[in-house]
Amino acid sequence: MARLLRSAASGLRAVAHGGEAVGAPLPLGRFPRLKAGLLLSSQALLGVAGAAAVADLRLLLAFLAARDGRLGDALDRVRGDARDDPSDPRPHFLAATIGVLVTRSDEEAAKWFRSYERVGRTEDAAAMLTLLEELAVAVALGGSPTAFDERFPFAMFLTVSAAGNRVDAALASALRGKEMSAVERLQLRAVRAFMYARMSSALKGNPAAAE
């Protein structure tokens, strides 16, 4: 059962960002009844796979909702996760971030950030940054009206910079350990330089970029 849960989590993570999971037996994003069944059975899985695995699965469902454009559903899920496990900093952080990305109430977003600060730790910072970038990409794929709207400079800054960082990380991961000629390495450096130049151009004049 634990193996099934890990496979499901891998599948959901890939589908949430529009891809296929390597080695996943089913693309679960295409089977809404199966997704619902996994969610409803999370309590039953708790005793088999452990609380951490179940929490990961529930957060992946929230990411999937954001990627599908169901931002209210995603926000409700992370709020529920924060209430169910107040010691897990991730739902608190994501609830605040969703609010910022979709211009929900500033007061409510600030409330969730304060909640995160109570349970978050300094060593969580890198993991939270990764979550922020993944969520920004998922929200943009879900059609958030603020993702590329210059009237919402901070949301646009987060979206563009997160997308660039995620692409760069994926590229570096795919090429790690691969033997390349000098020409291929120069081509790779040119691609990365071009990508960052386009990012800088998109963010030029954005007040959020200077913060």
Q: Per-domain residue ranges for the chain?
A: 145-211
The identity of residue 117, as a single letter, is E
Helix, strand, coil share (%) of the chain residues, nearest 5: 75, 0, 25
pLDDT at 47: 53
Query: Cα dihedral sign for 192, 130, 174, 139?
Result: negative
pLDDT at 11 over 80: no
- Mind listing the pLDDT tens digit for each residue in 39-75? 545 445 445 556 677 788 888 889 999 889 898 899 8
Distance CA 58, CA 64 (A): 10
Ramachandran area for residue 177 (φ above 0: left; ψ -120 to 50: alpha; else beta): left
Residues 6+ apart with CB under 8 A from 27: 11, 14, 15, 20, 21
pLDDT of residue 13: 42
- Give the pLDDT mean for 155-173: 78
59, amino acid identity: L
CA distance 171 to 188: 9
Which has more pLDDT, 32 or 165?
165
- E-strand ranges in the chain read none
Tens of pLDDT, residues 193-211? 787 777 667 655 544 444 4
Q: Which amino acid is at 109?
A: A
pLDDT digits (tens, 9 = 90+) for 95-153: 888 888 876 667 878 888 888 888 888 888 888 888 888 888 888 888 887 777 777 77
> How many helices, marked H, and strands, marked E, lie in the chain?
10, 0
Task: Tell me the C-alpha distance between 149 and 186, whole Å.
Answer: 34
Query: What average pLDDT does range 81-86 have in this prediction?
Result: 88
Q: What is the pLDDT of residue 72?
A: 87
Residue 24 has pLDDT above 60, yes or no: no
User: What is residue 90's predicted lDDT score, i.e. its pLDDT?
Assistant: 92
